[in-house]
Amino acid sequence: MRVLLVCAGNTCRSPMAEAIWRRVYPEDEVASAGLTALRGEPMNPAAAAALLEIGGDPGAHASRPLTSDLLAWADLVLTMERSQAEAIRRRFRVPAGTRVLSLGEAAGEPGTEVADPLGGGPERYRATAARLRELIERAGR
């Protein structure tokens, strides 16, 4: 399965989720992107540190914006917030109820959103990484 994880800037939540997904489901192809991302930005250092603490590998991440090609590549698109899934459906004319969902919806927790840790301290990034891992373990299968 090809999984695309999407957040806003593609420097915190979605790259953390990408690394976690890759570790939990090594048989899947996985990528990440951002709705408002600039191209080529590194992962936020606090996000990378939190990821390392839970055994994830931040690798050499470089942010990228969501494109129609990435969307077409993916079998499943998971966002950090419901509003992001709705924005993708509107912007790319993807019918509701198809392969674009929030991570919370995919994990069976439709009201759950993964808040952006940007600007928070290390503990906020740790909590985000832990929550992503929980949701991904429930969402993947």
* Residue 22 burial (C-beta neighbours within 10 Å; 0-12, 13-18, 19+): middle
Instruction: Examine the residue annotation and report whether 91 is marked as an active-site residue of this protein.
Output: no
Report which of 1, 32, 27, 2 is spatially closest to residue 15, judged by C-alpha positions.
32
CB atoms within 10 A of CB 57: 13
* Number of other residues whose CB lies within 10 A of the CB of residue 94: 16
Active-site annotation holds for 82: no
Name the active-site residue from 22, 28, 99, 116. 116
Q: Which of 12, 13, 126, 131 is catalytic?
A: 13
User: Is residue 12 annotated as a catalytic residue, yes or no?
Assistant: no
- Show which residues are catalytic: 7, 13, 116
